Structure formats: structure tokens, C-alpha cells
Amino acid sequence: MKIVTIVGARPQFIKAAPVSKAIEKYNSETGNPKLTEIIVHTGQHFDADMSDIFFRELDIPEPDYNLDVNNSSHGAMTGRMLVKIEEVLIREKPDWALTYGDTNSTLAGALAAVKLYIPVAHVEAGLRSFNRKMPEEHNRVLTDHCSDILFCPTRTAIENLNREGISGKDSSSAAGGNRPLVALVGDVMYDSVLHNMEIAEKYSDILKKLNLKPKGYALATVHRAENTDQPERLKSILQGFEQIAQEGLQVIIPVHPRTRQSLKNSKFSIKNSKLNFIKPVSYLDMLLLEKSAQVILTDSGGVQKEAYWFEVPCITLRDETEWVETVDAGWNVVVGADHKKIVDAARFFKRPDHISDLYGDGHAGEKIVEILVNDGCLGFSNHCKTRNNY
């Protein structure tokens, strides 16, 4: 079996790593037929601090293809990716296209594959924010509805799919039956955290570099278009951060390239700010910064979950979240961009006593490979009769 893995953004590198390791483990076991993984990097995150370093730290094989598609509008980026991914798929003739998350790379990969009658498997399927103003929401919905296997991280994700009429039941439906296969496998990012946290604690010196004491600072990330592309929202968020810093809690902000540009456009004066703006950090450094923070303020879905796993209070800078389990568990509060709510949440957050096992057992990558091998092969044999377009 040949699998084409399509990634393009920092969170996707993190999600893909456990699956790549599970493929390597499967191939090392005697008697197993070989799985071939072809990695396609669309180039959506092209900054070395957001891309290259993640492949090295996560020990992911170097991409077989780097499409270098970035720095353009959503439509132009998705269209260029679609063309280039299609060329790769025609050349490689894979049995499966494996997509991750909710980026433009996700949607382009799924569309390119289905047009060529190549089965699509979607990792992190079923997530919904129910905010149709988010480009990511459209990406994840459209990808789910053209996927043949949907790998869900939570039971909530499965319920979301059921409400939309996606309710695959058995393995014979995968990639060729009337219904897709829907599988609860857990969260691949949890796999990554469990594997990499010990490495981070051993090798990362980010706290020393920044002269930080554990639980002595707030960690903040802002990158979503809904915040960076709306000056009033970004201004209000920064105002909240400034007040937190003025009240004595240092605020560390690894600056995403999009946010950096928005700060320039808004003429925000970093020099006159009490906030500590730093360059994007590596995955291992970010894990240690998250675990050691007193509180995390973010609009990132991945960071919300990592805060939960590290038992660090999280304040979400959005009007909703797809990770509702973290809110229900009391570890996450959604405040939007209101600076007063941001400050109040940081002041009065009531920390729960414990976390629950909401995101699986840390073996999602292995479960994904097992399903692709067993159910995917069966579905592919039924599906290949129609694959005559390439």
C-alpha cells in the first residue's frame, strides 16, 4: 500500500509525526506487507521557524515533495495547491491520500484526490466550531464530506458527523461502499505530547534563555485571521495582554508571521510595550513554555488541548471553540477579543482538581495505521475498479 501524506502547516507536522512513526513500526514487524509513505509539504508554512525545524525535532522523514505554495489569498493558495498536488498524485498513484486538520492544504489535498478517484482519509475529522466565518470551518466540513475514512479524536466529533448524515458503521463501507468509515481513534497530538515532553524537558533551554521561572509568566499566541485581520479585535486583545503585564505577570508572545505583519500594519509599537514578543519557537521549546506557564492565552486549537494535557488554565481568544470538552472540564474559558474579559479570566480563573481521559490513550497513530491496513485494503479493492482517470 502506498499512502500520500499531505501537510503544509505547523500543526499538521505535529499530527503527522505519530502516524509516520506508526508506519515505521508496522514496517519493522516481520511478516507485514510494506507500507510506503510519500510526504507532500505544500509550503503553506514556509518560514524555517514554522516548518523546517519541526521536521527535524519530530523526526519526520524529509518531504518527498515541497510544493512551495504560500503567501497568497485563500483562493489563490488553495487553487495552486490543488494543481500541484494533483500532479504528484498522478505521478505517485497512491492507494490513499491522508489529510490532516483544517487548513487550505487539507482541502486542496482532499479535492485533488477525489477528482482522481483516490480514497481520502481525514485525521481530526468531525470538529466543528459552527462559525461559518472561519475559513477553517469550511475546510474541515468539505474535507469530511468527501472522505472515505474519518479518523475522529473525540466522541463529540462523531456526534457532529452524525448530525450531518455521516454515520459510517462497518469496515466494508470504507472507500467504496455507500458510507464512509467513521473511527474513534483519539487525538494524534496527544501521542506527540506524550512522546516529546520528556525530550523537551531534557534538551530545551528556552526558560533559561528567556530568564523565566516556572509558573511565573503567561504564554500567549495569536494567529487566527479573525483576530489578526481585524484591527479592533487585535487592538483589544493586546490591550488585555498589556494590562495583565502591568499587573505583574510577564506575558510571552511567540509571534506568528501573520501576526507580525498585522502588528506592522497597525503601527503597534513593540518598543513601548510591556509585552515580551519573541520569534516563533520550536515544538520542543513550545511544549516546555506551555507546561511551565501560569496561564495560557491563545486562539490556537492545538494549544488549547496542550494546555489541558499540561493542566494549565487556558483562556481562548475566540468567540467559540471546536474543543468544547476542555471548556466543559473547566480548564478552558472562551472570552473572544474583549480585553476586560481577558483580564478578568486571567485574574479569577478557578483551576479544576484534575483532567479526564478525553482524547484517547496516546496510541492514535497506531490505530490509524491499523485501520488503513485492514479496513483500507478492503475498501480499496472495491474502489479501484473506478480509478481509471490517471
Strand partners, 152: 184
**What is the pLDDT, as a whole number, of residue 138?**
96
Please provide residue 36's backbone torsions phi and psi, each rounded to the nearest 5 degrees: -110, 125
- The count of residues in the chain is 390
What is the pLDDT averaged over residues 143-168? Answer: 95
Per-residue model confidence (pLDDT) at position 170: 47
The average pLDDT across 64-76 equals: 89
Of the candidates 157, 146, 140, which has an alpha carbon nearest to the alpha carbon of residue 103?
140
Q: Could you read off the pLDDT of 366-385 as tens digits, one per residue? A: 999 999 999 876 544 444 43
Give the active site residue among 122, 223, 256, 339.
223
Phi (first) and psi of residue 362, to 5 degrees: 85, 10
The pLDDT of residue 48 is: 52
CB atoms within 10 A of CB 202: 8
**At residue 171, does pLDDT exceed 60?**
no
| 19 vs 203: CA distance, rounded Å | 24
Three-state secondary-structure class, residue 151: strand
Residue 45 predicted with pLDDT over 80:
no
At 387, the pLDDT band (50, 70, 90 cuts) reads very low
Exposure string for 124-137, b = 16+ CB within 10 A, e = fewer = bbbbbbeeeebbbb
Cα distances from 233 to residues 113, 197, 240, in angstroms, run 37, 33, 11
Q: Taking residues 42-57, what's their average pLDDT? A: 67
Query: What pLDDT shows up at residue 77?
Result: 93
Instruction: Give the pLDDT confidence score for residue 177 in this predicted structure.
Output: 55
How far apart are alpha carbons 168 and 382 in whole angstroms?
16
Residue 49 has what pLDDT?
54
Percent of the chain with pLDDT over 90: 77
> Where in the chain are the domains?
2-187+360-386, 192-348
pLDDT for 269 beyond 90: no
Global pTM?
0.88
How confident is the model over 281-286, as a mean pLDDT?
94
Annotated active-site residue 223? The verdict is yes
Distances, alpha carbon 252 to alpha carbons 125, 235, 236, 241, 289, in Å: 32, 17, 17, 10, 9
Question: Measured between alpha carbons, how far is 313 from 153 in angstroms, rounded to an integer?
Answer: 21
* In the chain, % of residues over pLDDT 70: 91
Mean pLDDT over 161-165 rounds to: 96
Query: What CATH number should be reported for the domain whose range is 192-348?
Result: 3.40.50.2000
Q: Which three cell numbers, joined as nine digits, stand for 329?
A: 472540564
Fold of domain 2-187+360-386: Rossmann fold (3.40.50)
Mean pLDDT, rounded, for 41-57: 69
Fold equal for 2-187+360-386 and 192-348: yes
Q: Which residue has the higher pLDDT, 198 or 172?
A: 198
Instruction: Report the distance separating Cα 358 and Cα 348, nearest Å.
Output: 25
